[in-house]
Structure 1
Amino acid sequence: MSSNTILKVENIGKQYRLGLVGTGTISHDLNRFWNRIRGKEDPYLKVGDSNNRSEKGKSEYVWALKDVSFKVNKGEVLGIIGKNGAGKSTLLKILSRVTSPTTGLIKTKGRIASLLEVGTGFHPEMTGRENIYLNGAILGMSKSEINKKIDEIIDFSGCLKYIDTPVKRYSSGMRVRLAFAVAAFLEPDILVVDEVLAVGDAEFQKKAIGKMQDISNSDGRTVLFVSHNMAAVKNLCTRGIVLESGKSIFDGRSEDAVKYYLNRQNSLNVLNLLERKDRKGTGEIMFSKVEMLNSEDNSVIELISGEYAKFRLHFIFNKKVNHNDLVFGVVIYDHSENKIADFYSDEMGIKFSNIGYYVDLEIPELMLRGGSYYVSIAVQTNIRVVQQLDVMHRVFNFKIFPGDYWKAGKINRATNVALLNGKFKNEYS
């Protein structure tokens, strides 16, 4: 490894056996042993399905990770993103030496501290204070070194009242607070953090992300961060890796990695709306599909709060109609069926002189907080008496990730409501 490289991963793979038997049978073990003493490759490394949970496998073995390689430099913050089951946690467990790889090699310099699950490494019968010393000893620190940091750890965790109480009586959030404080303040060379921070409240998540930034910027230490919060990955990480079905499919700047990942989650649920029977209207025009496009005109189902969005409404004509009389509408609801926003072409002063087979609703900044939403659509005529041509409810589902909409260095709250482009002022500003 070069002098600046602190972690090197070469062709890492992790294979598991499906079914009730966790590892292998006696016959498989004997077969492996016989091949090993003859200097031949493990025969079961040549088989195994990719880690795609939605497909029925053809083999009794599966590769949770396959041929993953990358380098991490000192002081770098690496974000690892991907769908559930992509192999992110498996990779972190291998890097943290919780489990060993089936194939490949890992080279590291310095101590690794891991926060993979709630209360990782804590003994439930020991108090919070005792667990701080236990974790410090595991990291190779002396008692005097831990003594210098213990007040900062307790203060950061916010668990002062319960610090001499057994950890088994802590809530999951308290355990995460203490575990993160221990991992961050005992000065590991590499800090590995899984999605476990999502258990903490908004205040703690902000503190934890700020601490990770301090660790990398001020102390020059390395952070590996797994999260489904795309805004946190963009703001915190300098580089990103995208995993899919156990393989690394992208490695680059964190902003590019997030964009690549969101583009990959393209509209898998773009349905043929012509097959839907739950529609109202005369049917002179019928919607065929709806999709959401990002600023690069890629079809997506996930965006970050405040980003550009375009809803494209595809339709067919079953009868000749006067385009000037058409009014298109898009209504956005949250997951509880509360109306969040609606858009109608006539209110915007738009007249359609001649249209093809789709219309676009452009939203320069989709000012929604983080959450799940869906779209309903309508087209009608607007001459004297309104006549509905096609009305459909819940035609497209999408997700918004919280983001730093006001560029204030703070991720907005996820409360499933719209953001208005306003600004607070006091009487002296």
Structure 2
Amino acid sequence: MSSDTMVGTLSSDLFEKQLSEEIRYCILLNGKIVDCNYYGHLLIEEYGDILFDHVLEYDQKSLYSFIKEISGTHKVIERVFNQRIKGETHKVRYRGMLDIHNHILISGYIEKTVEITRYTFPETMKTIFNELQFMFILIDHDNQVLFSSDQYINIVKTYEKENKCKHPFGEVIRNMACIMRLNKINIERYHYLEDKLYHIYGIYHQEVNHISFTFNEIEKTEEFEKLIQYKQQMESVSQLAAGFAHELRNPLSVIRGFIQLSTLTNSMDKYYRTILSEIDRMNTILDDFLSLSRKSTKKKGSIPQTIFKSIMPLIHSECLLRNILLKCDIEPSAREINLDESMIKQVLLNILRNSVEAFEEEQENKTFIVQGKTSENAYTLIITDNGPGMEQTVLDQLGKPFFTTKANGTGIGLPMCKKIIKDHHGTFIINSNLGEGTEIIIKLPFI
């Protein structure tokens, strides 16, 4: 047989399809496969043309490092990855290098391993976990379920039967497992589902690459309510960060200007009081902002206009950034209200956030009005906007836990506002007309 005939035989379809199991790719730095052999083409049909999607989640970071390392040298680099092939997980040994045209070329083959008996969860342990109050699930290195308790199975089956879709716990488990294997750590998460809060704790068993999860339903205790309150506080603080920075920039500009002026005129004494007053103003702004992130404290007697006026600069900044006209008329009162300052501020910021998010971007003359009025027994706060308003059907549902009209809303904000006002022995009323705007009336009793 001539050498030409031999070369033709080795590169033929028969050799490629029947005898070779080698995977060959030409890829870009972002993992996109631009060329491949027959076996590589079969994998692309099953898992797509991005190489990262072929390996297990916890190996994706290592694969990126492997590709990046190849792109920085003309040496051959070798690594092993856990990869999906025909629905099963295999260890694939890849070798890669840059060619003379700076193309990333890699080839791989499945490592033959001794078959390991699949782990069996002991019957005694199954009985124990099925008797416990919390749910339990154990998964292997490929996120396949090795054992799940009866409680977990029942909840998942019931949910999927009623909702005609997969239970979200599966996605939560996969996301947690990816993080745990990458960082080799145990983690915990909280998950809201159907008016229930679940505490999920994952334990990474490194020696066998298994992960166990416990799911504990948290009762609606005082601790649960405090957790939701604090979550809402942090969301408001985060959203107001831009307005806070804007509010601090004004006194900083004044201080900078006067320091430059004093250098030119050589008379710091002349501007000392002005600079000091601006520093005091910055301290006040910082105190007001930080009070939002403090956890709930005991109630104390406070003058209402002092509390409401202290938060106006932050609301004003937020309105300025979003091109909303703010009108404020807070009537003074000598009488005190027994309140938790940070919680009442939280209510105001939640209402502002809802109002701001409801405005259509193209709407003109957007207005947000805050009025404070005294009566014989209570201080009344009336908050109005000229946004899109709401239909009566929406208004009837508003304030119920987890009901929301926002794409990314949680439905926690307004129920929490109502709860805070109720805890202060006050009333919280929402009036709204579609196309006209919304009015919220809060009444807090005097001491």
Compute the TM-score of the two structures, normalised by the length of structure 2.
Answer: 0.24
Q: Judging by fraction of residues, say which structure has more strand.
A: 1
Point out the structure with the larger helix share: 2
TM-score when normalising by structure 1: 0.25
The higher-RCO structure (CA 8 Å, 6+ apart) is 1
